[in-house]
Each structure stands twice: as C-alpha cells, then as structure tokens.
Structure 1
Amino acid sequence: MQLQTKIPLKKETRNLIDYNSKLLLLGSCFSENIGNKLNHFKFQTNQNPFGILFHPKAIESLITNAINKKVYTATDLVFQNERWHCFDAHSNLSAVDKNELLNNLNTAISSTNNQLQEASHIIITLGTSWVYRFIETDKVVANCHKIPQKKFLKELLSVDEITQILEAIISLLKAVNKDVNVLFTVSPIRHLKDGFIENTQSKSHLIAGIHNVIDKKNNTFYFPSYEIMMDELRDYRFYAEDMIHPSKTAINYIWERFIFSWFSSESLTTMQEIETIQKGISHRPFNKNSEKHQQFLNNLEIKKEKITQQFSFISF
C-alpha cells in the first residue's frame, strides 16, 4: 500500500559533495538547518555571513558587494531601538557600538570574497519573492530591523525580475569561480505573515524563476526541498508547534533526501564514523571514573585520531 507521494529524485553523477568539497550556504533560514547538519558531520562549510537573507535581491547584493570588496562606512548604517543596523544584513550582525557593526560587516565581506572563489558548491535557498523598499533611499533592503512599516513600500518580485537576478548571481559567481556548482532550492517555510494566497504566489515566482536559469551543463541545479515538504510530508505531524516551520523529523527527512541526491558514497562512510564519535562525545556516564568508561574514552580518542589524520581540517 502506497501511503505517500514521493518526489522522484535522481542521484547526481558528477561533482558530488564529499569531504574535499568546500560549501557556502546563503539564504533563508532553511539553509541554516542544512548548514547545521553539515557542521555536525564536519564538512568544510560556511553559512550566511550576513545572517539569514530571505529574498533573491538581498543575496545578489551580498555576492556583488563581496566580489567588489565593498567597504562599509557609517553612511551605510541606521540607528533604531538603541542599536546600529545595516539594511544589507540580518539583525544578528547589529550592535550597540557603531564601529563593532562596521567591523563585523567588513570582516564578513572579506571572508565571503574568499569563500566565493574557493567554494566547490554554493547552495542558495530562496524564501520569498516579497521585498521591502526603503522609501528614503529607494533601495530594496534585506531586513527592515523593526523600523516602522510606513517607511517602506512592499513589492512582489515578478518571475522576470527573479530570473534576471538569478542570472546575475550565476554570472557573478562564474566570473570568479568558473567551475563552481550552484544549487538552488526554495525554503519549505511558509511566510504566512504575507497571507496564505500571497505566500503561494511568492513561492511560485521563486520556483518559476529558478527553472528559467538552471542548466546542468553550466553546473546550476535545483533541489526540491519545498516540494518534498509539500507533497512527501503533507501532514501537520511534520511541522513544529507554530504549524509553519518544519519539525526536526521533517528536517532530518529532507536532509536524508539531500544526501541521497548529492553525497558521494565515500563520504557516507566517513559520516557514519563521525556520527559515532559525536554520539560518544555527548554520552554522559553513570560513573566517569569507572574502568569501563575510561576504556570507552580511550576508544573514542582512537576514532577521533583516525578521522583527523585523514582530514586535517576536522577537529572535535
């Protein structure tokens, strides 16, 4: 009996992710979920240097500024609720001290410039087509930082506009890293504050825009995380308590589907070894001074040493 609608996924045959890969994740908060998984398994990964970015225009701005080595100054900042903010970045980078924020921004720009050139895979998760334009400067912002909404115009990016933005992103990335693999996905998290119908329209614009630009010959791909959530996991038991965000079970399920599509068979063996070590590290003994526990710790150190000798960048 078939009790689930399965999204057909094919195993990629080239440029698979392994422990030599260098990954950069940009975009919506779902990229944080996948990034945390990659960190857990000790892959070479960086995520969201400017914090969570929800829409494609914000991601394009970050990539453009990083490649051009933009230097942020006080004119790029705004003061709101006793903190300094930048419209290009998430509030996670905001600070009470203006110079601290500028240092955070410029350090992130420098590191992102290097990561864009060195990455083997860049995974971009798009969350919404809705954007906010700051009326005073006529500029689309990445984050409104709780500034009164009357100071912004809310706009919906058209499919054509999203296509142009994504084409620009791909061109920028290929200009500094011609062999990079670019994986697009759409966040399964619904932006219901925009409205139910508006959220569906927003997601459809993103999906249509992505499918206008993906081309395996140019190493640009699509992973259907949104479709997996909507069809394979079409049940509220796969949602968190807010009934909007995916539950831990759903995140794990989509992660497993991502592994199937994109990870080399060699990396799976190493992942299993690292998972054993991670469980060992989190183990809490009844008697930490017992001979049995000391032997357990000794065996754990042997396993760690085996991994770190094989991959010098891994540490526990």
Structure 2
Amino acid sequence: MDFRTKVPIQDGAHKLEHAGGVFLIGSCFVENIGAKLEWFKFKNLQNPTGIIFHPSPIRRFFQRLSNEEKFREEDVFEFNGGWQSLEAHSDMRRDNHEECLSDLNSALKQSREYIQNTSHVIISLGTAWGYVYEGKDNIAANCHKVPQKKFTKELSSITEIINDLEVIDHSVSQLNKNASIIFTISPVRHLKDGFTENQLSKSHLIAALHQFIESSRSSYYFPSYEIMMDELRDYRFYAGDMLHPSKLAVDYIWELFSNNWLSKSSISLNSEIDKIQRSLAHSPRAENSTKHRKFLTNLQGKIEEIQKKHPEITFS
C-alpha cells in the first residue's frame, strides 16, 4: 500500500546540462536550488540584485535588462545612513549613492550578458502580496525597514500577475530566444501575512502561472509548492522556524527536479561530482600521513579526469 499521494510532474522539454548555464531569480527558495546547482558544478548566476519575492519587481528587473535601462539617481534613496533601491534587496545597500548605483548597474550588465548565453532561467515566485511606496507606482522588491506607514499593502490580482509573467517571458525571449523558463512557486510559507492570506496569495500565483503557461511556448512549471504541501505534508519536513523546508525536503525536491529536468548525462556526472565534493570536504586526522597523501593523489586524478571531459567544471 502507498500511504501518500505523489505529485505528477511533467517531464522537462529541454534538459539542463552542466555547461548550459542557469540564471535564477526570485524568492529565497532560489537559494536552495542554487546551492544544489553550485554543489554539482552547474554554471549558474543567482539573484544578482538579491532576493525578490513578488512577480512585479521581477518583471521590472527583466524590463531593465531587455530595454538596457540603467538605474539612475532617482532610483536610489538614503535611509538610516545607507543607500538602497526599492527595486533591489538590502544586500545591495551601500554607503554612498555612487557605489550603490554602480553595483546595481553592474548587476544588470552581468545579468544581461549571462542570460544571452544561458540555456535556462529559473524563477521562483514567493508571494502575491506587495508593498507600494507612497508616490510610487511599482511594488517594492524590498522595504528596507522603512516605516510601514509609508507603504500601501496590496494583493495582486491574477490578471496583474499574468501581465507580469507575459512581460518576463517577452523580455527573456528578447535577450535569448532559445532560453527555457522554469517557473516554480516557493514552498516557503509567508505567515506574517496571515494563514488565510498566505493561501490566498499562493492561489493567485498558481492560477496566474497556469493560465499563462498554457499560452507560452518557452515557459514551464515545476511544482515545488505542491510537492511540499502534498507529498511532504508533515512538520518534520520543515526547518526549525516551521516556515522553510528542511534540508531533507530540499534534497527530495531537488531529486524530483533532477529526474525531470536534468539530462541523463548530467545526472550521471552529478554522481561523480558528489563523491569528489564529499572527499574535498573530508577532514583528515593526519594530513601528512602516507594514506592521506595517496587519498589526495587519487582525488586529484578523478578531478582531472572530469575536467578533461568538462573543462567548464572547476573545483576549489
């Protein structure tokens, strides 16, 4: 007997290879998937302007890329002794506006060049709840601890989210018509919005994504949220905060993603890379022993063997 329901997953149309390159943007769940890609030595670029939860600022980011629209002085502001932008995470906060603008525009340039040569774009949507700063039209990527009274909280409609997704899709295709976009909804629960409000938010994202993908030729859906809610519906699969997926849950979601979106050759290569990575992380009891030196020689041989076939892969 099977005591759980398994989420059906559509097989990836365009498989991911190590050398193909992956651009990731969106919620903190991007960091979970990105860490796996990093471990297995896939070329990747993650959240160049920091974590973004809402589809609207993600749309704005891609618009800047496709239109080659730089950040300008009016796009940054000073607060609590630092300079930041409402379109970027606090990771981009700098001591002065020149440095802030320079780093934001460098991130745009890096992202544009990367996407033009990548095979896949992964976008993780976190919430449909957004905050609009007074006097502004766009939903903020981050509020930077500015007093909440300065913002209006709003729930984006399904239609508004679909419009965001269409712009994202169009912008990516302008940069790279061959890139496949994989959308997913973060399994992280945003309970600060409220229990019912979190479900309402996720339902808007799900409804919008599925309506959009039905008419898209290059966008696909991976059900991270559904896997967490249905297959892993137990608190033992959550981290200590009871909001984020645990390491075990992330490992399981990655396994399903790998089986459906990685090529057979990449899955096989991952097995070899994993062994090397674990060996590199090994802490020897006697670094100068003959046994350990032999271990290092064998390990270096395995690394060189992989690099002959895959020169794009490097081990630190």
Deviation at 1:315, TM superposition (A): 1.2
- The structure 1 segments of at least 4 consecutive aligned residues displaced by more than 3 Å after TM superposition are none
Letter in 2 for 1:8: P
Q: Are the counterparts in 2 of residues 24 and 122 from structure 1 also a CA contact under 8 Å?
A: yes
User: Which 10-residue stretch deviates more, 67-76 or 226-235?
Assistant: 67-76
CA distance 1:23–1:215, change in 2 (3 Å): farther
Paired position in structure 1 for 2:259: 260
Paired position in structure 2 for 1:60: 59
Q: Percent identity?
A: 46
SS in 2 for 1:46: strand
CA deviations over 1:191-240 (Å, ceiling 9, x no partner): 11111111100000000000011148712110000000000000000001
Letter in 2 for 1:265: K
Paired position in structure 1 for 2:228: 229
SS in 1 for 2:154: strand
Letter in 2 for 1:167: E
Letter in 2 for 1:211: H
Map residues 39-78 of structure 1 onto 2, 5 A cutoff. 39-78=38-77
Q: Are the counterparts in 1 of residues 112 and 175 from structure 2 also a CA contact under 8 Å?
A: no
User: Which 10-residue stretch deviates more, 106-115 or 210-219?
Assistant: 210-219
Task: Say whether 1:2 aligns with 2:2.
Answer: yes
Q: Are the counterparts in 2 of residues 16 and 264 from structure 1 also a CA contact under 8 Å?
A: yes
Deviation at 1:295, TM superposition (A): 0.4
Paired position in structure 2 for 1:294: 293
Q: What is the rounded CA distance, in whole Å, between the counterparts of 1:17 and 1:113 in structure 2? A: 20
Paired position in structure 2 for 1:250: 249
CA distance 1:72–1:104, change in 2 (3 Å): same
Paired position in structure 2 for 1:164: 163
SS in 2 for 1:250: helix
Q: Are the counterparts in 2 of residues 58 and 88 from structure 1 also a CA contact under 8 Å?
A: yes
Q: What is the rounded CA distance, in whole Å, between the counterparts of 1:10 and 1:144 in structure 2? A: 36
Task: Say whether 1:18 aligns with 2:17.
Answer: yes
Q: What is the rounded CA distance, in whole Å, between the counterparts of 2:72 and 2:219 in structure 1? A: 34
Q: Are the counterparts in 1 of residues 133 and 150 from structure 2 also a CA contact under 8 Å?
A: yes
Letter in 2 for 1:38: L
Q: What is the rounded CA distance, in whole Å, between the counterparts of 1:81 and 1:143 in structure 2? A: 15
Q: Which runs of 5+ in 2 are unaligned?
A: none
Q: What is the rounded CA distance, in whole Å, between the counterparts of 2:219 and 2:74 in structure 1? A: 36
Q: What is the rounded CA distance, in whole Å, between the counterparts of 1:215 and 1:118 in structure 2? A: 26
Deviation at 1:81, TM superposition (A): 1.7
Paired position in structure 1 for 2:95: 96
Q: What is the rounded CA distance, in whole Å, between the counterparts of 1:213 and 1:153 in structure 2? A: 27
Paired position in structure 1 for 2:36: 37
CA deviations over 1:171-190 (Å, ceiling 9, x no partner): 12112211211111000001
Map residues 145-294 of structure 1 onto 2, 5 A cutoff. 145-215=144-214, 218-294=217-293
CA distance 1:164–1:10, change in 2 (3 Å): closer
Q: Are the counterparts in 2 of residues 277 and 300 from structure 1 also a CA contact under 8 Å?
A: yes
Give the TM-score normalised by the residue count of structure 1. 0.97
Q: What is the rounded CA distance, in whole Å, between the counterparts of 1:277 and 1:211 in structure 2? A: 39
Letter in 2 for 1:286: R
Deviation at 1:2, TM superposition (A): 1.5
Task: Say whether 1:125 aligns with 2:124.
Answer: yes
Deviation at 1:117, TM superposition (A): 1.6
Letter in 2 for 1:275: D
Q: What is the rounded CA distance, in whole Å, between the counterparts of 1:266 and 1:90 in structure 2? A: 36
Q: What is the rounded CA distance, in whole Å, between the counterparts of 1:99 and 1:16 in structure 2? A: 41
Q: Are the counterparts in 2 of residues 136 and 151 from structure 1 also a CA contact under 8 Å?
A: no
The number of equivalent residue pairs is 315
SS in 1 for 2:213: coil
Q: Are the counterparts in 2 of residues 215 and 221 from structure 1 also a CA contact under 8 Å?
A: no
Give the TM-score normalised by the residue count of structure 2. 0.97
Q: What is the rounded CA distance, in whole Å, between the counterparts of 2:95 and 2:289 in structure 1? A: 49
